[in-house]
Amino acid sequence: MDRADRWLSTRTFHHRKFADTAALIRLKQAQGLRLSLVIPTFNEAQTIGTVLERLLPLRDTVPLVDEIAVVDSGSTDSTVERAGNAGAAVYRAEDILPGMGAARGKGENLWKALDRLSGDILVALDADIANMHPRFVTGLVGPLLQHPEIGYVKACYDRPACPDSGALGGGRVTEILVRPLFSLHFPELTGFIQPLAGEFAARRSLLETIPFPVGYGVEAAHLVDLHARHGLSIFAQTDLGQRLHRNRGNEELGRMACAILQVLERRLHLRGRRSESTEPGCLIRQFVRHEDSFAATSFAIDELERPPMLTVAAYRHRRMGRDERQDRPRTLATHPTETAAATAEE
C-alpha cells in the first residue's frame, strides 16, 4: 500500500461522524477557536438566498460558526442585495485591501476574505449548491476540531450529471485534466476524490502562508503548495454525500482547464520539471457553429496569483494591532510578486 492509499484509508471521513453539532461547539470553545464561513460569489442571485437560509442557523441558533460572509466579485444581478437581506455580512472584493488592486475570480474573493474575516478556521462553500445543508459545514470543520494535527479538509461527494436520472457525472475537468496530471507529477495527491471541490475548511495559519491564484486555479494550487510544505499529513477529506449544482458548458470548462493548467505548470517549473513558458498567460481559441460554418472566439486566460497574506504589509499591521488588543487575527493579500506586494503596501 503506497502513501496515497494509506492516506485515503485513514483520512477519509463521512459527514455522519460529525453530526453532533453540540459536541463540535464544545470542542471549538475548549480550543478557543473562531470559525468563519465565506461564500465567494459572482452573479448567484438564483441560489444565494436559499444557501444562506440553510446555513445561518449555524450562526444564529447554534453558535458553531462565528461569522458568515459573502465576498462578491462585482455581481451585476441582485446577489449582493439578496445576501444582505438574508442576514450575511457582505463585502465587495474590490473594497478590501484597495492598495493591492482588484481582480475578479473565486480565488481573489477567498484571498481577500482572509483579510476581512476573523476566524482561526475558514470554511469556504460555493454559492450554487442546490442541496445546501449544515453537513457541508459540520463535515468539514469536524476533522479540524477532533484532530489538531489536521490543517486542511477537502469535500468529496457524488455529482449527479442529471439529478432526475441518478446517473453520476460531472467533474469533467477533474477527470480529463487534473487527475491525470496529479497521477504523473503529484502522485501523493491522487487520493483526493474531488481535488477541485470548491468546499473546504482550513486553518488560517496555513492559508496565510501560500499564494492564491485569483481564479479557477486556486483549489489545485492549495493542494500542491501545502503538500510541498507539509506533506500529506495535514490533509483530510470528508464525504458530504451528494452535491447538486449548476453544470457548466464545455466552453467555460475549457477556460477553467486552461487556468488550472497554467497554475500547475508554474509549480512544475519551480520544481525544475518544466521549462519556463515563453509567453505569459494563454490564448485559448474556441469554436461555435454559426449556420454552415464555425465562428472562432478567443479568450486570454492569465491566471494571476496573489502572494501569501503574511507578505502584505497592511495585513501584518492589522494583525499586530489586533494582537495588541488581544483580538483574533485576520488574513489576506494580492499581487503576483511577493516582494512587490509587500513594498506596495509599505
pLDDT digits (tens, 9 = 90+) for 42-66: 999 999 999 999 999 999 999 999 9
The one-letter amino acid code at 50 reads: T
Q: Are the CB atoms for 334 and 346 separated by under 8 Å? A: no
Set of cell numbers at residue 8:
485515503
Q: How does residue 271 score in pLDDT terms, banded at 50, 70 and 90?
A: confident
Set of cell numbers at residue 68:
458568515
Is pLDDT above 60 for 332? Answer: no
- What digits encode the pLDDT tens for the residues 124-181? 999 999 999 999 999 999 999 999 999 999 999 987 755 444 444 448 898 889 989 9
Q: Are the CB atoms for 136 and 39 separated by under 8 Å? A: no
The phi and psi torsions of 181 (rounded to 5 degrees) equal -65, -40
Q: Tell me how many degrees the CA angle 29-34-37 measures, rounded to the nearest 5.
A: 130
Q: How does residue 101 score in pLDDT terms, banded at 50, 70 and 90?
A: very high
The residue ranges of DSSP E strands in 83-196, in sequence order, are 89-92, 121-124, 152-158, 160-162, 167-168
The phi and psi torsions of 215 (rounded to 5 degrees) equal -120, -135
Per the model's pLDDT, the better-predicted residue between 246 and 132 turns out to be 132
Q: How does residue 341 score in pLDDT terms, banded at 50, 70 and 90?
A: very low
Q: H or E segment at 330?
A: none
Q: How does residue 294 score in pLDDT terms, banded at 50, 70 and 90?
A: low
The phi and psi torsions of 38 (rounded to 5 degrees) equal -120, 140
What pTM did the predictor assign? Answer: 0.85
Q: Averaged over 320-344, what is the pLDDT? A: 42
